[in-house]
Structure 1
Amino acid sequence: MDTAVQPAPVPTRTGATPAPRRGRRTEPVRRILGYAALGVAAAAVLLPFYWMVVSSLKTNNEVFTIPVTWLPDSFVWHNYVDIWRKSDMTTWLRNTLVLSAAVTVLQVVTGSFAAYGFAKVRFPGRNVLFLAYVATIAVPWQSYMIPQFVLMSKLGLPDTLWSIIALQAFGAFGVFLMKQYYESIPDELIDAARIDGMSEYGIYRRIMLPLSVPALASLTLLTLVTTWNDYLGPLLYLRTHSLWTVQIGLKSFISQYNAEYALIMTGSVLSVLPIAIIFLLGQRYFVEGVATTGLKG
């Protein structure tokens, strides 16, 4: 029987035969190494949170033991009962929730509406005004918080929740984020709506908002997390104990019960838990909004 003759490798100019390609062989190895690196990074980020949760279920003597005990000998579940009995956690969480919800709604509404004007409405000085407004992001709040406090004092707003709401009702970052997303929506769609007689308010409400759900979700999550974790603003404006947020409350709780470390960790877990749940529920929209922001349609 005749056997097929295999062609000989073509020698190169130097006389050596070319080596086989190793791209396909090394691709699984690179993928495994990439997943391993991501796993190590995720473990490093989650390790402090794990230690905080575990410490909330320990006794005071077990929290700062050396070497570290990653699992307690017995889970002390009554810490989550004692925290409500020994502190005003209900009041702190309620105030924080009211502030976070009010500021988030106002920033989403004002930011998305202003971004529509900068992205789809043409008027003289639009670009200069937008650059000047966005440039305020680079100015730290600590540099003008004293004049701001003086202004709030003259308006009679200190020691009220309205002071925090009024200060954070507008945000340049939200305008920038929404403008970048609005620019990915075709202008032909807006022009067609104008030809049909739809007003600018109708275009914003019926066209822009339904098409920008991922960006709105991203802005909502970012604003909610920032407001919930804010410490310096409530510390500066809120003096009455009944108006304290959870961040100020935990600080006072640490000063009052400086030896009960397990109870302090329990309060920290309760302050982080609502934000973690909200982020897990909306992470798909958050990732989609960040990934699509700035893409031209």
Structure 2
Amino acid sequence: MTNMAEKLKAEAPLLGTELTTGRRGPGSPQKSGRLRHKTREQKSRTINIVVYGVLVVLVFALLVPFFWMISSSLKENNQVLTVPIQWIPQEFVWSNYTEIWTRIPMMGYLQNSLYLAVIITCLQVLTGSLAAYGFSKVRFPGRDVLFLAYIGTIAVPWQAYMVPQYIMMQQLGLTNSFTSLILLQAFGAFGVFLMRQYYMTIPDELCEAARIDGLSEYGIWARVILPLSKPALASLALLTFVNTWNDYMGPFIYLTSNRLWTVQLGLRSFVGQFDAEYAMIMTGSVISVVPILIIFLIGQRYFIQGIATSGMKG
């Protein structure tokens, strides 16, 4: 009995500490919970490191051709295709960026490309947003069937109707002019699909309330829908601009006069019958990328928002 009393007295301070501080023994549930939480954090941190590492490798792989293009634009023509690749030129040939403007009418080609890209982008955004509003917010018989039929044209390859289009433009006397390219590319099923999918996320109650207030359908589209669709509009505008700027086959088929050539056709001037001036081609390619880079930097915020989100929340 005496030994038991002494043992209880010795353990009494420890028990009092546990009661006052809430601490428990090594196998307590609280400590086990902290250990599990710490383990989950470590696993999550490891997964994030691996994911970011993979993304960095992928980004680097995507940028390798761009780095090679810039490097090649600063070399002599006979040094572009050397094996192994010289990523850093032995001597930087900055004169390529001044010589190209005298070798070909580069400024005229850039102006032609910019003119076509801006006009076609504006028309596609206008027609695509209008058609998407009709397919998403206006109810009429056969709406969904008509939309599916229109979107189905995306699956038809351009080569299937390339010749009929050219014959039609030739009969109208529109070949060798910008008008043919503008008319053929002013409407796009992809733009209608992209805008409609975004419009579907906007509540129909907004349109109903605007109709009750007396707004017409065009007023609802202009004053209600468009202000809520800036990310989708920016995405469509950027994609259309890049696609038009980089288009080669369209101008190649319809534009025969050198004064109407775009920058993509102009770079063919450095391709001869037996050889090609690769350094000049790369120099022109770098210059042609600059407008696209500027457009992307201007609309980057809206473009990323349009890709990452899908309309209004709540």
TM-score normalized with structure 2 length:
0.87
> 1:97, 1:228 within 8 Å by CA — same for their partners in 2?
yes
2:217 aligns to what? 200
Letter in 1 for 2:310: T
What is the SS of the residue equivalent to 1:175?
Answer: helix
1:281 aligns to what? 298
RMSD: 2.1
1:115 aligns to what? 132
1:209 maps to which of 226, 243, 246? 226
2:236 aligns to what? 219
CA distance in 2, matches of 1:167, 1:160: 12
- Deviation at residue 296 of structure 1 after TM alignment: 7.5
What is the SS of the residue equivalent to 1:255?
Answer: coil
2:106 aligns to what? 89
1:6 maps to which of 8, 25, 29? 25
> 1:181, 1:295 within 8 Å by CA — same for their partners in 2?
no
2:96 aligns to what? 79
- Deviation at residue 74 of structure 1 after TM alignment: 2.5
1:171 aligns to what? 188
> 2:120, 2:182 within 8 Å by CA — same for their partners in 1?
yes
1:238 maps to which of 255, 272, 285? 255
CA distance in 1, matches of 2:41, 2:146: 52
Please, which moves more after superposition, 261-270 or 45-54? Answer: 261-270
What is the SS of the residue equivalent to 1:65?
Answer: coil
2:21 aligns to what? none
1:159 maps to which of 144, 158, 176? 176
What is the SS of the residue equivalent to 2:271?
Answer: helix
After superposition, give the CA deviation of every residue in 1:178-232 in whole Å (9 maximum; x if it has no partner): 1111111111111111011111111111111111111000000000000011111
Give the helix-richer structure, 1 or 2: 2
2:147 aligns to what? 130
> 2:181, 2:254 within 8 Å by CA — same for their partners in 1?
yes
> 2:270, 2:276 within 8 Å by CA — same for their partners in 1?
no
- Unpaired runs of 5+ in structure 2? 1-9, 19-23
> 2:234, 2:302 within 8 Å by CA — same for their partners in 1?
yes
What is the SS of the residue equivalent to 1:151?
Answer: helix
> 1:55, 1:262 within 8 Å by CA — same for their partners in 2?
yes
Letter in 2 for 1:125: G
Change in 2 beyond 3 A, CA 1:176/1:296: farther
- Count of residue pairs brought into register by the alignment: 291
Letter in 2 for 1:177: L
CA distance in 2, matches of 1:92, 1:79: 17
- Unpaired runs of 5+ in structure 1? 11-16
Letter in 1 for 2:165: Q
CA distance in 2, matches of 1:88, 1:279: 26
1:264 aligns to what? 281
CA distance in 2, matches of 1:188, 1:257: 65
CA distance in 2, matches of 1:27, 1:92: 52
After superposition, give the CA deviation of every residue in 1:138-176 in whole Å (9 maximum; x if it has no partner): 111111111111111111111111000010010011111
CA distance in 1, matches of 2:111, 2:272: 22
What is the SS of the residue equivalent to 2:90?
Answer: coil
Letter in 2 for 1:23: R
Q: Does 2:152 match 1:141?
A: no
Identity %: 59
CA distance in 2, matches of 1:255, 1:89: 18
CA distance in 1, matches of 2:217, 2:268: 47
2:205 aligns to what? 188
- Deviation at residue 59 of structure 1 after TM alignment: 1.8
- Deviation at residue 129 of structure 1 after TM alignment: 0.6
1:14 aligns to what? none
> 1:190, 1:203 within 8 Å by CA — same for their partners in 2?
yes
- Deviation at residue 261 of structure 1 after TM alignment: 2.2
Letter in 2 for 1:175: V
2:7 aligns to what? none
Larger radius of gyration: 2
CA distance in 2, matches of 1:8, 1:27: 25
Please, which moves more after superposition, 49-58 or 253-262? Answer: 253-262
Letter in 1 for 2:267: L
What is the SS of the residue equivalent to 1:74?
Answer: coil
2:58 aligns to what? 41
TM-score normalized with structure 1 length:
0.92
What is the SS of the residue equivalent to 1:106?
Answer: helix
After superposition, give the CA deviation of every residue in 1:253-283 in whole Å (9 maximum; x if it has no partner): 2237945322121011111221122112212
- Deviation at residue 9 of structure 1 after TM alignment: 7.0
After superposition, give the CA deviation of every residue in 1:226-261 in whole Å (9 maximum; x if it has no partner): 001111111111111111111111123223794532
